[in-house]
Structure formats: structure tokens, C-alpha cells
Amino acid sequence: MEGTQHRIAKTLEALRTHILPTSASSADNMLLESIEGTKCSSCREPIRPRELYHSIRLRDTFVLLRFHSLCYQLWVRFDGTVIDRSS
């Protein structure tokens, strides 16, 4: 699916360039139902109304991140190293 590939690429790019903090800094994690206009913090695409998404608060901050479930799965697995399989 092209949309999925796009989300994965954008999420990995955001992590690699440190636009996104790693999941080690997360505190609260809630699964919420999206309302109109919610945007994913990693791929920057809208989260469809009524779709479930992860709402993460970063430790010692009031920063809230919102993730599609796919983007969240990538985010929690990312430990700062990205294996390049293209070569």
C-alpha cells in the first residue's frame, strides 16, 4: 500500500533527523479516538475522524505527540539506529 510506505518513510526520516524525540522520553500513553483535524506527529498526515490513535505525553513536559497506530509501532521500535538495507 502506497500510503503505508509513505508513512513509514516519513516516520523514519523524522526520527533520523531528530525532529521526533525517541520513545524513551515518553510518559503517558493513551489510545484515543480521533476528531476532525488531528494530525500525526511523525508522518504529518491527518488521522481520520473516529480512527484510534496514540496520544503520548513526553516526560517532564507538556508536549503531546499523536500517532497513527502504524507510526506508533515504528516509533516504539526505533532505538536511534536505522539499518540501511538499500545497498
Binding site for Zn ion (CB under 5 A): 7, 40, 43, 68, 71
In this structure, which amino acid lies at residue 24?
Answer: A
> Contact 54/69 with Cβ under 8 angstroms?
yes
Query: Residue 69 Cβ, how far from Zn ion at the closest point, in Å?
Result: 9
Report the nearest approach of Zn ion to the CB of residue 87 (Å).
27
Continuous segment of H or E residues that includes residue 65: strand 64-67
Nearer to Zn ion, 4 or 61 (CB): 4
CB-nearer residue toward Zn ion: 28 or 51: 51
Q: Is 30 exposed, middle or buried (0-12, 13-18, 19+ CB in 10 A)?
A: exposed
Beta carbon nearer to Zn ion, 25 or 46: 46
